[in-house]
Amino acid sequence: MKKRAKSSRMFLTIRKNSLTTGMWFVLFSAFLIFSIVFVLSLLAVVRETRNNNEMRESETVINSVAGNIHANIDNYKDLSRLIMLNKQVTTFLRADTVDSGIINDTKYGIMDVLNVSVNLDSVFIIRNDGFYASTGRGEYDISFIMMDSEEWLTPITEKRGGAILLTNAGGAIHRKSGIQLITIARAIYDIYTQKQTGILLMNISTKMLDRVAIAGGNSSVCIADPNGLALAGDKSLADYFLPNQPTEQIINREIQENGKHRMISTYTFDNIPLTIICSTSSNSFQLSKTTILVLASMFIVFAFAMFASSYFVVTKINKPLFELASAMEKTKESGWIEEINMDIPENEIGTLVNSYNSMIQYMNDLFLRLIDKEKSIQRAEMRVLHEQIKPHFLYNSLGTISYMAYDAGATNVYNALETLGNFYRNFLSKGDREITVKREITIIKDYLSLQKLRYGDILTDEYDIAPEILDLNVPKLMLQPLVENCIYHGIRPKGEEGIIKITGKLKDNDIILSVYDSGVGMSEEEINRVLSGERAVPEGENPLPSGFGLRGTIDRIRYYCGSDDVVQINSVEGEYTEITIRIPAKAKENGEDDV
């Protein structure tokens, strides 16, 4: 009982654990999912912010670089105008005949302007007739053939004096040292005649850009020509050059390289043959304080909500459920189906308790009804059994058949049926436990005469009963099983006709009854076995209940007398067996004898 209680308590603990574990599992998963989502969104926010910052920075850099370039170019444009208006230059252009003196004067005139700026590389003044004056800081390859071509000239003349910007004079002039040149080209018109007199090509060294291509902070900048050739700044950025990029637009690209992140912004001028490439990469996550505050408070609120809900589940659901289960278990252990008395608020669990209790009540009612029903069924069955035990039907049928036999002249059948009816009447004898010796002897006589009918004349029966014991009471069916034993285990195995002799006498107020048969007899061993109540044969081997009648009867007599020393067996093997019973004499209690 103790052990059982312990095991059931263990069972409860396990169940509680599993419920709690489940809850914790759910909570933990929810927390994990939330954390992952939180971190992911945080990363997205951080990234977005960083990209925005980088783009802003890039744009700032590009705008400033572009502004500088514009300003410089404007300066050079002003200078070119100055050259155009230079006295020597106009003279050169108006001169009908050109000689080396004029050209030299022109060169000096240009030189004055050239000296103003270090990065002003060279100036070419080309008359319509092909004469030209030039000043420069180096040696140049000049392609006059190109300059004569329509496609080279047209863009310049179309502007009617306006400046256009070219690289290396549109391919016509290259400095031998390899320095790239930005050319301001414009057609020159005579002030008076308003006719085009020549073309001005002013080459600016791209070294000018070195001063401009400066970026601060996390950015680096590169200025490239329209072919993607880096001219100034961080030359490695030329790799990110985009050909055919729309002009006057900043294009941002996010690039991951060797695990490093950078923002590449490119900008191409509309009228200047240059592209600015800017790279920004900021390594620090910079979040605004507000963002951090909002995120942190969100996290705290969520964690608190989680804790609060689990606390609620544990105190309001888990614990009452556990208590309820314990109460039910206790009811089960007690072995009684009882209602549960628990202090539980009137919520769903309270309803559960009430439902359980009403179910218990219903079950108890049901059990009571079942028990009542079972009892009445039992009573009915007892009546039926009683009817069956009273074998009126058997007796009546036997009577009818007896008459039929008698009527047909079969007297032997009539006699047999009569004996059988008589045997059963005495055998059942109204269910009494005790009968008189006289009736027991009658039973044996009937029994033996019926057995003789079955097996032929294999035996003769003799009776020697003292008249004074005939009316004394003995346990019913005490001798009959012994006689049966005589036939089956004494006489039949011998194969010879045998004698069964019943004697009865009174001695010292005890009834002495003995059953004798001239059968095969019993060995000492067999006698001991029967008297000690052991099984005659080992179990499983020939389990026909052969010796049972004898042993059962001996047990019954011993029980009746309250003593073991009431049965005695004498035998000589191959000669006879005699079983003697000694029981205290009892006066016959009731006067009736016949049924």
Partner 1 sequence: MYRVMIIDDEQSARNLLKISVNWKDLSMEIAGEAASGIEAINIIDEVRPHIAFVDISMPFMNGIEFTKIATERYPDLMIIILTAFDDFEYARQCIRLPVFDYMLKPIVREDILENLKKVKAILDSKNISEEADSSEDVDGESSIEQIKKYINDHYDDSSLNLTSVAQEFCFSSSYLSRKFKQEAGVNFIEYLTSCRMKKAMEIATTGQKMFNAAQAVGIPDPNYFGKCFKKHTGKSYSEYQAELKSGD
Our finding on whether 494 is near partner 1 (CB under 8 A) is: yes
Residues 6 or more apart whose Cβ sits within 8 Å of residue 366:
none
Among residues 171, 493, 533, 552, the one that binds partner 1 under rule CB under 8 A: 493
Our finding on whether 67 is near partner 1 (CB under 8 A) is: no
Cα–Cα distance between 379 and 413 in angstroms, integer? 40
Phi, psi of 587 (to 5 degrees): -70, 145
DSSP H or E segment with residue 210: helix 207-212
For the bound state, the minimum distance from the C-beta of residue 477 to partner 1, rounded and expressed in Å, comes to 16
C-beta separation of 236 from 243 below 8 A: no
Our finding on whether 416 is near partner 1 (CB under 8 A) is: no
Our finding on whether 529 is near partner 1 (CB under 8 A) is: no
**Which among 377, 422, 373 has a CA at the least distance from the CA of 398?**
422
Our CB check for partner 1 shows the closer of 145 and 544 to be: 544
Cα–Cα distance between 174 and 370 in angstroms, integer? 120
Binding mask 436-455 toward partner 1 (x if CB under 8 A, else -) reads -----------------xxx
Our CB check for partner 1 shows the closer of 178 and 456 to be: 456
Our CB check for partner 1 shows the closer of 456 and 467 to be: 456
Our CB check for partner 1 shows the closer of 394 and 453 to be: 453
Distance of CA 481 to the CA centre of its chain: 71
Q: What angle do CA 369, 371, 376 make, to 5 degrees?
A: 95
For the bound state, the minimum distance from the C-beta of residue 403 to partner 1, rounded and expressed in Å, comes to 21
Q: Which regions of 250-291 does DSSP assign to beta strands (E)?
A: 250-257, 260-268, 275-280
Of 506-525, binders to partner 1 (CB under 8 A) are 520
Among residues 101, 345, 431, 495, the one that binds partner 1 under rule CB under 8 A: 495
Question: Can you tell me whether residue 231 is helix, strand or coil?
Answer: strand
**Which among 550, 39, 5, 479 has a CA at the least distance from the CA of 298?**
39
Our CB check for partner 1 shows the closer of 246 and 495 to be: 495
Among residues 333, 496, 564, 593, the one that binds partner 1 under rule CB under 8 A: 496
- For the chain, the farthest-separated pair of C-alpha atoms sits apart, in whole angstroms, at 194
Our finding on whether 269 is near partner 1 (CB under 8 A) is: no
* β-bridge mates for residue 268, sequence order: 275
Our CB check for partner 1 shows the closer of 540 and 562 to be: 540
Binding mask 459-488 toward partner 1 (x if CB under 8 A, else -) reads -----------------------------x
For the bound state, the minimum distance from the C-beta of residue 544 to partner 1, rounded and expressed in Å, comes to 7
Residues 6 or more apart whose Cβ sits within 8 Å of residue 561:
583, 584
Of 550-589, binders to partner 1 (CB under 8 A) are 574
Our CB check for partner 1 shows the closer of 40 and 572 to be: 572
Catalog residues that contact partner 1 under the rule CB under 8 A: 453-456, 488, 492-496, 520, 542-544, 574
